[in-house]
Structure 1
Amino acid sequence: MDRCPWRGEVLAVRDARAQGAGDTLLAWVHPLHNGEAFGLAGRIVACAAGLVPLLLAVTGVMRWLDRRRGERARRARRSALSAPGP
């Protein structure tokens, strides 16, 4: 009989006390990455940290647009001042 995960059979058991240091470290990487290791507060911090790149991208585009508008306004003022008067 083949072992099938959808039958609900236990396919393997891992004893945390018998793991090496590398396996223990790898077992902690995922819970630390998604904040699960520190409960709800950890998950909130992980979520906020995940949103920081989006916030930086949005504010970066906003700053770029502001500088671009300012540069256009400066060029328009310069051309208006250098234009011959009536």
Structure 2
Amino acid sequence: MTPTLTIASALAGLNIALLAALLVVWWRNYRAFGTPLTLGLVAFALVLAVENVVAIGFFLSSGMLYAADASAQTAVLAMRALQFVALAFLTYVTMR
């Protein structure tokens, strides 16, 4: 695995950790209030967490589509970094 994909994998792992924290808060809120919005947030966190787990699987597999293309790897890293920044803001605001 290239250093770029290693960093992308680490960011995906961090994204999963942030989503787990959000999921705990949102699930508690759903159990307390039962609103469709909180259930939607729970579903959002679950789907995005599954997407990150699948991404890590692709990063670790040898037959990935973008294995030899440096620009594709950079784009994947940038998307993981942007997702991390967005989730960090969302987690900060949610935990306040």
Which has the bigger relative contact order, CA under 8 A and spacing at least 6?
Answer: 2
Greater gyration radius: 1
Q: Which has the higher helix share?
A: 2
Verify same fold: TM over 0.5.
Answer: no
Q: Under a length normalisation based on structure 1, what TM-score does the superposition of the two structures give?
A: 0.35
